[in-house]
Structure 1
Amino acid sequence: MRQGALDFETAIDVLTGVPSAEVDTVLAAVMETEFDRLFQHGWQPAELHRAVARRGNPIQASLVADAALNFQKNRTPVDDRWRAQAESLPAFQGRRPDRIAVLDASLSLLAELRLLPAIEVLVPPPGTPLTTVPHHSDQRILDKVRALLAKAEATDFAAEAEAYSAKAQELITRYRIEMIDAPAVGVMPFARRIGVDHPYENEKASLLDAVARANSCRCVWSPELGFSTIFGFDTDIDAVELLYTSLLVQANRAMTRDEPAKGKARVKAFRRSFLVAYAYRIGERLRQTAERELAARDDLLPVLRNRDVQVREAMDKVFPTTVRSRTSRVDSLEGWESGRAAADEAKLR
């Protein structure tokens, strides 16, 4: 399909002139081959759906959702995490698209799928042996942290948000120390991919990196794929995911509250500068929090250094070569000052 000298528009015209039953059979088979390749080589349903949905075509996003459900049919065993992602993807909303729109979306999606590379398998795809990944986080602690962060996100009062966030960080840090004091046998660093959505992906990735480093994790951003890979011990990665999500919610609320009322260019510069300052200041405060909490436990320093070495080795195995991302420009002093102020409001003790 689309071989030879045919351009995209000509290919669409040719296909619309061929009986639909013939075209649909061949197109479905080709699409299935590409989806199978990606699902078998590391792509999880939510990740592939996010990467495609970023293109803004709901038809293409629904094709991914359907493909994920079909891929797990007649394949056993199916990892619970994989199944949960596949079943949670949203179905197509709105009127049924016409045939030309479906052909257009399918062919352009096929071209994009063929460009996507294989990535690290973190969750075994359906039909492959299940790997038992030990997870040692205490769900009760995580539920308490989630509840506190939800309260911090819901309140419009900075003092209340600070109090809830501080308590959440206190629980996380104490729990991390408990886990270091009583390590479980066979616990090793793991990896988890966290979506970084547009707009302002660079600035959001910087915030995620700041939270990761403060919690003894390492972060590698893949901008062309729409996610960052977090390396660390499972309890630390849980803390990173919870804190990053909550801080991003608080940042968005403060940013829309303080942004200028007029001027598209001015608002864009304000938001970018806001998020740069917010990420930088949050990183400072989280590092200070970690240093204070661990200052009285000099006996933990050798353990922490050893864990850091293991995390770095795990990251280097998957990403032997990385480059530093370019720092975003700060074009709005108003946005920079507002971002730092918002980070102070969201500070974690």
Structure 2
Amino acid sequence: MASIKDVAAEAGVSVATVSRVLNDHPSVSADARTRVLTAVEALGYRPNAVARSLRTDQTHALGLVISDVLNPYFTELARSVEEEARALGYSVIIGNADERPDLQDHHVRTLLDRRIDGLLVSPTDGGSPLMLEAARAGTPMVFVDRWIPGVDVPVIRTDGRAAVRDLVAHLHGLGHRRLAIIAGPAATTTGQERVGAFREALRAYGIELPDSYIGQGDFQAESGRRVTEEFLRLPEPPEVVFAADNLMTLGALDAIRARGMRVPHDIALAAFDDVPWFVHTDPPITAIAQPTGELGRAAVRALVDRIEGRPSTSVTLPARLVVRRSCGEPSQSRRSTP
């Protein structure tokens, strides 16, 4: 592999001149610049990104810490982040927190040590002193999907409350009255928000949400299975299980089928976080869809604005209800609520 010294020898200039050309320094003559760039092309030289970052104090790398890489929602989010970052001239280093606050902070600390230019995080809980410290130190940071109250950084998120109201109205219209929820972790903002929105939407129809119809999950499949089994053992099981994310929906579906029950004939099932495979289940699952790709792209733009000294603000996007057939809908139903 060619070195900077090889380029200097090929171009007939000093190493310092090559360095100035590669860093767009204005003091280099047009002739020297042409010779250096010709030598770079001829030798296939690629500057060392780490060494350049030490000179420019920029790595053109972003850190992304997501809550669970196995969750299709976060997989899609990471893909959109990487695509938008690449389009803006940045690379992305990804850390998977696996819904563990300790692992989240490990990745954040590692990324900061690697001198990333900015950090995107979907927090696993609401109380990380490390991220509060990083924000106060001026680290360019943006929260995506979830956030930590009291940390003053832009938040790029979905507001699902209207879509939850649409879902409850839809379920009420189908005749369902006993509705239960598999909630996400109470330490996360999304876990809190979705339960609150569900309870509020039920009250609009005079329906209370008893404690026995709130199951505590962790946004992973096993918790969805466990909570659904608890619901099904109740003296009066719910008519509908609403899982607050896609993996818990999968666990709920497993528990229902393990009992020899059928969706929606024996119990209805709905989900927050639509994913492509929901259309392939039997029956296809009614779900609340988030604009995941748009969230990821908006988060990158907000972070790059902060890195490059431009104003950056929070963005809230709406979710929408996608009606299929897992709640007892007519078989021809394919309606989406805009």
Task: Provide TM-score, normalisation by structure 2.
Answer: 0.26
Bigger Rg, which one: 2
Q: Which has the higher helix share?
A: 1
